[in-house]
Amino acid sequence: MVHPKSIVILDFGGQYAHLIGNRVRRLGAYSEILPPETSANDLKNAAGIILSGGPQSVYDKGSPQADPKILELGIPVLGLCYGLHWITHTLGGEVKPGATKEYGRTLIHIEHGGGAILQDCGKECTVWMSHGDEAAKLPPGFTRIATSDACANAAFSDEQKKIYALQFHPEVTHSEHGSDMLKHFVEVCKPAVWSIDNFEQKITEEIKKEVGDKSVFMLVSGGVDSSVAFTLLNKVLGTERVQGLLVDTGLMRKDEVRLINEAFKKVGIQNLHIVDASQEFFANLNNMYDPEEKRKVIGDTFLAVQKRISEEMGLDSKKYMLGQGTIYPDTIETGGTKHADKIKTHHNRVDAIQKMIDKGLVIEPLKELYKDEVRKLGEELGLPHELVWRHPFPGPGLGVRILCAKKEDRNQKAEGSEIALPHAILPVQSVGVQGDGRTYRHAVALFSSDPFVVTDKHLELATTIPNKSRELNRVLLCLSHTKPFDFSFTSGYLTRERANLLRQADAIVHDAMMQAKLYELIWQFPVVLLPIGEESGKQSIVLRPIASTDAMTANAFILPPDVLKKMTEKILKLKDIDAVFLDLTNKPPGTIEWE
Which residues are designated catalytic?
Answer: 81, 169, 171
- Distance CA(406)–CA(87), nearest Å, equals 47
Q: Give the burial string for 307-321 (b: 16+ CB within 10 Å, else e).
A: eebbeeeebeeeebb
CA distances from 377 to 154, 370, 382, 391, 457 (A): 38, 11, 9, 16, 40
The answer to whether the bond into 139 is cis (omega within 30° of 0) is: no
- Distance CA(449)–CA(461), nearest Å, equals 17
CA distances from 201 to 204, 323, 386 (A): 5, 19, 25
Picking from 111, 85, 75, 83, the residue whose alpha carbon sits closest to that of residue 14 is 83
Residue 453 per-residue DSSP state: -
- Distance CA(437)–CA(335), nearest Å, equals 10
CA distances from 346 to 33, 281, 331, 342 (A): 22, 17, 7, 10
Picking from 134, 161, 160, the residue whose alpha carbon sits closest to that of residue 70 is 161
Picking from 526, 528, 527, 520, the residue whose alpha carbon sits closest to that of residue 549 is 520
Q: Concatenate the DSSP letters of all residues of 149-217 into one string.
A: SS-S-SEEEETTTTEEEESS-TTSTTSTTHHHHHHHHHHHH---B--GGGHHHHHHHHHHHHHTT-EEE
CB 232 within 8 A of CB 281: no
Pairing of strands 539-543, 527-530: antiparallel
CB 177 within 8 A of CB 185: no
Q: Is 434 helix (H, G, I), strand (E, B) or coil?
A: strand
Q: End-to-end CA distance of the chain: give it in Å, rounded.
A: 40
CB 562 within 8 A of CB 548: no
Phi-psi category of 113—alpha, beta or left, where left has phi over 0 and alpha has psi -120 to 50?
left
CA distances from 513 to 170, 246, 571, 591 (A): 31, 27, 14, 22
- Distance CA(51)–CA(37), nearest Å, equals 11
Taking the mean position of all CA atoms in its chain, how far away is CA 516? Answer: 26
Task: Count CB neighbours of 186 within 10 A.
Answer: 22
CA distances from 199 to 179, 204, 209, 336 (A): 21, 9, 15, 22
Segment (H or E) for 38: none
Residue 396 per-residue DSSP state: T
CB 509 within 8 A of CB 543: yes
CA 510, 516, 522, 526 dihedral sign is: negative
Query: Within 13 Å and on the Cβ side, how many CA atoms surround 269?
Result: 32
